[in-house]
Amino acid sequence: MSAEAPSAGAILIGFFLILCGMCLIFVGGGCAAFFILEMLGSHHDPESAGYVMIALLTFGAGLLLLRVSIRMLRGKRGEATEKEGLR
């Protein structure tokens, strides 16, 4: 079984996507925590539920970016070990 390493471009794109994903995770998670605490506090704004959903979607997009970028950085070698681990 031959394992191919990712190219230099894939490595650069992978690191960029990791940074973007981490940023989205921190922003989305922080905003979600803020809005949830605001909803649980004395202010009951009906629009807060929409803001919480947007923040949670941002958090999920960050997680998705992290997953995609890590799979990109693993290259063909990571896909082969991932398939063997599922057996």
Exposure of 62 in the CB half-sphere (CA atoms within 13 A)? 18
What confidence tens digit (pLDDT) does each residue in 23-39 have? 999 999 999 998 888 88
* pTM assigned to the model: 0.74
Domain boundaries, the chain: 8-79
Residue, of 81 and 55, whose pLDDT is higher: 55
User: Cα separation of 4 and 13, whole Å?
Assistant: 17
d(CA 35, CA 61): 18
Burial profile 39-69: b = 16 or more Cβ within 10 angstroms, e = fewer: eeeeeeeeebeebbeebbebbeebeebbeeb
